[in-house]
Amino acid sequence: MPVESGTCIIETAGLTKRYGDICALAPLDLQVSEGEWLTVMGHSGSGKSTLLNLLGGLDRPTAGRLLVGGEDLLAFSEDHLARFRREAVGIIFQQHHLIPYLTALENVMMAQYFHSVPDQAEARQALERVGLGKRLANRPGELSGGEQQRVCIARAIINSPKLLLGDELTGNLDHKSTRLVMELLKELHEEEHFTLVLVTHNQEVAGWGGRTLFMDDGKLVKDLRHERKGDDPS
């Protein structure tokens, strides 16, 4: 399917990832438009996280073509790829990966530091935006799971990435916290207009997006576009 120049932020052609004899991702052709909210669903081992890692420049494909924002990630050197991750991508993991001995504020500032220079006022503003204005000085161990995930969201969006990736970001959260996090993401998505790719098992989370990819055994089995039920997915 031809994609108009300027509207497509992710474009893959024959994108493949193999680990020895195991094919983690079968040749995949995919286009994602700028500002789109894409959810990737599938069983464990279906290739969802592999795809996400490739899109985020965390891993390199075995074969195929991968363009993000018009740039060929396969042509990037390791340094260039690291710069791409720092500047163009925000990643939210299920396990948070917050630095335990730094406060919430410092964790967000750390992302700024690796991107350019830290700015405390801006980091504080980002945490206030995710509703953690009163938990700035708390370390991750002093925050609930939902709060930690919100710190992760603040950390992921602080550098204004054009692509935000979430890997099972609500996997550890209860229904109420999941809803809070998803509402926050929806609000940010509408304000910042980044492209969001979420990997999840959760049907409820998939409902927040406008498009869902179903994967099985490393292959794309269904590409479903649907109405966004952001207001009340349940």
Partner 1 sequence: MILARGVTMLLVWAILVMGLARAYAGEKAALTAGCAAGLVAGTIFGFFLFAAVPGEIPFFIIKSALAAAFISLFIVAAIVWYRGTAAEGDRPSVRHAVVAITVFLFAAGYGLLLVCRLPYGTDNSQFMALLLILLAMLGLWMIVYRLEPLLPNIGMAKGGTSLFAVSLLLFIASLSPRLDLFSPLSMKVMKLIHDFVHQFFESMLIPDHPFFRTDIWNYIGLLFSNGVGFWGGLAIWFIPTTGVTLATFREPLPSVAHVRQAAVRRKLIAAQLRERRRRLFFPLFAGLVMAAAAFNSSHPSVEYWDPKPLAVKADSAGEIVLPVKDGDVDLKDGKLHKYLYQKGAQKVRFFALYRSGELTVVLDACSICQPDGYGQNEGTVICYYCKTLIPLETVGKPGGCNPIPVPFAVDGSGVHLSAEMLVNTWVAQVQSEKKLPGGGK
- The site for partner 1 (CB under 8 A) is made up of 87, 112, 115-117, 119, 122, 158-160
For the CB of residue 193, give the shortest distance to partner 1 in the complex, in Å. 12
- Containing 106, the helix (H) or strand (E) segment is helix 104-115
**DSSP assignment, residue 69?**
T
Residue 10 dihedral angles phi and psi, to the nearest 5°: -120, 130
Q: What is the gyration radius of the CA atoms in the chain, in angstroms? A: 17
Q: State how far the Cα of 144 lies from the Cα of 146, in Å rounded to an integer.
A: 5
For residue 164, the minimal CB distance to partner 1 (Å) is 13
Report the C-alpha gap between 156 and 158 in whole angstroms. Answer: 6
Smaller CB separation from partner 1, 86 or 228: 86
Contacts 24+ apart (CB under 8 A), 106-115: 107/140, 107/151, 107/155, 108/151, 108/154, 108/155, 108/158, 110/155, 111/155, 111/156, 111/158, 111/159, 112/158, 112/159, 114/86, 115/86, 115/87, 115/158, 115/159
CB of 161 to partner 1, least distance (A): 8
Please, what is the minimum distance in Å from the beta carbon of residue 59 to partner 1?
25
Of 59 and 119, CB closest to partner 1: 119
Comparing CB distances to partner 1, the nearer of 80 and 226 is 80
H helices of 143-174, where?
145-157
Q: Closer CB to partner 1, residue 111 or residue 151?
A: 111
Taking the complex as a whole, the smallest distance from the CB of residue 160 to partner 1 amounts, in Å, to 4
> Which of residues 122 and 223 has its CB atom nearest to partner 1 in the complex?
122
Residue placing its CB nearer to partner 1 in the complex, 48 or 85: 85
Of 50, 58, 45, nearest to 15 by C-alpha is 50
Nearest approach, Cβ of residue 154 and partner 1 (Å): 13
